[in-house]
């Protein structure tokens, strides 16, 4: 069975690009990489263009779109909507990890710091979970 690393960036092109750059480094160590992408909150055509470009050049990096999900309608702020959206994707993440595990050995689940609510999906399956902070170090000084 092929060994793979599954990655889950937060919504937004900046988070996706940073996670894919890490994926490029990981795949040099003979792992395939699957990047899970959400659908329905901050979708933008530039994300699809970027995915096409990366897929054309890096065949060992694949992208899987999770089923459409909406944020909680009771959420007031952008942050509440964002985190509720990620949390509502946790069941899709669990299902997808289970499916990937049927055909590959999942060596790690790398998640964006903002996707902590999906951590249980992997840890309950015995898959090591790692956080990736996609912002620069200067943001930590705030």
Active site residues per annotation: 15, 112
**CA–CA dist 93, 129 (Å, integer):** 13
52 to 34, 58, 97: CA distances (angstroms)? 14, 10, 23
* Beta strands per DSSP E along the chain: 2-8, 32-37, 61-65, 104-112, 129-132
Q: Which residues make beta-bridge pairs with 5?
A: 33, 108
At 21, give phi and psi (nearest 5°): -60, -40
Q: Which residues touch 94 (CB under 8 Å, ≥6 apart)?
A: 118, 121, 124
Spatial CA neighbour of 67 closest among 41, 45, 46 = 41
């Amino acid at each position: 069975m092929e060994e793979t690393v599954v990655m889950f960036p937060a919504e937004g092109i900046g988070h996706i690009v940073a996670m894919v750059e890490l994926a490029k480094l990981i795949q040099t160590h003979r792992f395939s990489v699957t990047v899970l992408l959400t659908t329905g909150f901050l979708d933008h055509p530039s994300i699809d263009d970027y995915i096409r470009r990366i897929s054309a050049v890096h065949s060992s990096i694949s992208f899987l779109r999770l089923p459409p999900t909406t944020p909680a309608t009771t959420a007031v702020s952008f942050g509440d909507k964002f985190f509720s959206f990620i949390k509502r994707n946790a069941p899709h993440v669990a299902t997808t990890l289970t499916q990937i595990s049927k055909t590959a050995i999942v060596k790690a689940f790398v998640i964006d710091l903002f996707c902590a609510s999906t951590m249980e999906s992997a840890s309950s399956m015995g898959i090591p979970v790692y956080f990736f902070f996609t912002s620069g170090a200067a943001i930590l000084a705030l």
